[in-house]
């Protein structure tokens, strides 16, 4: 007899999670609560309600989390300028802690004994969901069907649907790739991408035109920052999710935000994936630009030194960990003076900074000028500075030390 009476499932309404609903009902003889989050994936989430009802689900949660997702997860991550392994802007990674949080909260609200997800046993998402859940509710039980069942192929899942009367929409023209989307990005894996030498197909990309097909005229935009976050575009105040939606559109139109990488998954394997992160690509460039004039040099370098660690922590699923919170506190402390405007040119896949300005700027034209500085900087001071910094090098060289 199972001690699981009710389970909260992260439910997309697709093939995998629809099978999971029925599988949980049969395997654990339990009630299933479905949770569907709208985090800007670009597809209607409301149809999931009828699908869940058809599977006998009585408690159905469908929530618009776009603003919370962008404001409380995406924006804090971009204050850190986080990039995993030099290229990946962590689009999938950053969505998981919010979903894990709501799964746990809904479990409390409904009196559920466990939560469940549709992540496979090969990927990072199982780790991210479960680390988040355990951090927020230590005693929570997690059911991961892909680690328990033998339905390890699409055909077996379809056969299961036939056997149990689960309706599956066979959409014509449906992408053959394994895809994940939210307001920050869309990812593509599988099929031809499993060969790292094979070129991605041109018709795979959904959010952006190719740089070759982008407009011949550049697009100029002005971004306004307040404490490290974008609060207005071209002088128009916007909420966080509105900012990201706008940037996705204008960047995609200009062929910006595509990458093709092989990354190191936390579970140990290498994985090839393609990502579109149009708005995020602009945000990273612009944030570094406004920081370049507003942050003290050593503060900026300190931020840069912890960024790879921060990115790794987010990628591996430790958003709710004490180390991420500690790094976030330091990062957020630096953002007080990160205010002002950045002007960008978007053109055929490129983002170019045209200008940056701030009332909190540390750039002093009188000191930096190549013209007469009227005594603002005494160039003779540089001689002693250089000699003191060269002292250890001179001593080592005089002792015959070789480089």
Which residues are tagged catalytic? 16, 96, 125, 178
Q: Is residue 358 marked as binding?
A: no
Q: Is residue 206 marked as binding?
A: no
| Rounded Cα–Cα distance for residues 242 and 240 (Å) | 5
Q: Is residue 266 marked as binding?
A: no
| Rounded Cα–Cα distance for residues 112 and 89 (Å) | 34
179, 273 contact by CB (below 8 A): no
Q: Is residue 128 marked as binding?
A: yes
Q: Is residue 178 marked as binding?
A: yes
Q: Is residue 17 marked as binding?
A: yes
Closest residue by Cα to residue 300 from 285, 282, 288: 288
Classify residue 393 by burial, with Cβ atoms within 10 Å: 0-12, 13-18, 19+. Answer: exposed
Tell me how far CA of residue 281 lies from CA of 174, 319, 355, in angstroms. Answer: 27, 21, 17
Q: Is residue 113 marked as binding?
A: no
Q: Is residue 281 marked as binding?
A: no
Q: Is residue 93 marked as binding?
A: yes
DSSP states along 385-400: HHHHHHHHHHHHHHTT
Q: Is residue 352 marked as binding?
A: no
Q: Is residue 12 marked as binding?
A: yes
| Rounded Cα–Cα distance for residues 396 and 403 (Å) | 9
57: helix, strand or coil: coil
Q: Is residue 309 marked as binding?
A: no
| Rounded Cα–Cα distance for residues 182 and 94 (Å) | 10
Q: Is residue 125 marked as binding?
A: yes
β 270-276/258-264 pair status: antiparallel
Binding positions for L-citrulline? 88, 93, 124, 128, 178, 187, 263, 275
Binding positions? 10-18, 37, 88, 93, 118, 120, 124-125, 128, 178, 187, 263, 275
Binding positions for L-aspartate? 120, 124-125
Binding positions for ATP? 10-18, 37, 118
């Amino acid at each position: 007899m199972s001690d699981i009476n009710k389970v909260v499932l992260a439910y997309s309404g697709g093939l995998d999670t629809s099978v999971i609903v029925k599988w949980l009902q049969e395997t654990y003889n339990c009630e299933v609560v479905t949770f569907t989050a709208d985090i800007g994936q670009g597809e209607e989430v409301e149809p999931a309600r009828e699908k869940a009802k058809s599977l006998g689900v009585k408690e159905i949660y469908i929530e618009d989390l776009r603003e919370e997702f962008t404001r409380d997860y995406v924006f804090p991550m971009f204050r850190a300028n986080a990039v995993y392994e030099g290229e990946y802007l962590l689009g999938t990674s950053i969505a998981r802690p919010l979903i894990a949080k709501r799964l746990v909260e809904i479990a409390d609200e409904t009196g559920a004994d466990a939560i469940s997800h549709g992540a496979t046993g090969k990927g990072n998402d199982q780790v991210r969901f479960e680390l988040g859940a355990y951090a927020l509710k230590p005693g929570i039980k997690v059911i991961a069907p892909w680690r328990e069942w033998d339905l390890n192929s699409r055909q077996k899942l379809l056969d299961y649907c036939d056997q149990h009367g689960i309706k599956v929409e066979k959409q014509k023209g449906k992408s053959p790739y394994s895809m994940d989307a939210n307001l920050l990005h869309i990812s593509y894996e599988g099929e031809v991408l499993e060969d790292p030498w094979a070129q991605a197909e041109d018709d795979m990309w959904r959010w952006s035109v190719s740089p070759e097909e982008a407009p011949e005229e550049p697009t100029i935009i002005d971004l306004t920052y307040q404490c490290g976050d974008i609060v207005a575009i071209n002088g128009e105040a916007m909420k966080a999710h509105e900012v990201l939606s706008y940037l996705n559109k204008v960047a995609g139109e200009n062929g910006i935000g595509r990458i093709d990488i092989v990354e190191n998954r936390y579970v140990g394997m290498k994985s090839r994936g393609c990502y579109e992160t149009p708005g995020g690509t602009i945000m990273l460039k612009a944030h570094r630009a406004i920081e370049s004039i507003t942050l003290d040099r050593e503060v900026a370098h300190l931020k840069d030194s912890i960024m790879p660690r921060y990115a790794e922590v987010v990628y591996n699923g430790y958003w709710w960990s004490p180390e991420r919170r500690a790094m976030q506190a330091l990062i957020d402390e630096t953002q007080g003076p990160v205010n002002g405007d950045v002007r960008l040119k978007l053109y055929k896949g490129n983002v170019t900074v045209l200008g940056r300005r701030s009332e909190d700027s540390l750039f002093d034209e009188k000191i930096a000028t190549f013209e007469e500085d009227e005594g603002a900087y005494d160039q003779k001071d540089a001689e002693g500075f250089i000699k003191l910094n060269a002292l250890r090098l001179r001593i080592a060289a005089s002792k015959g030390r070789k480089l």
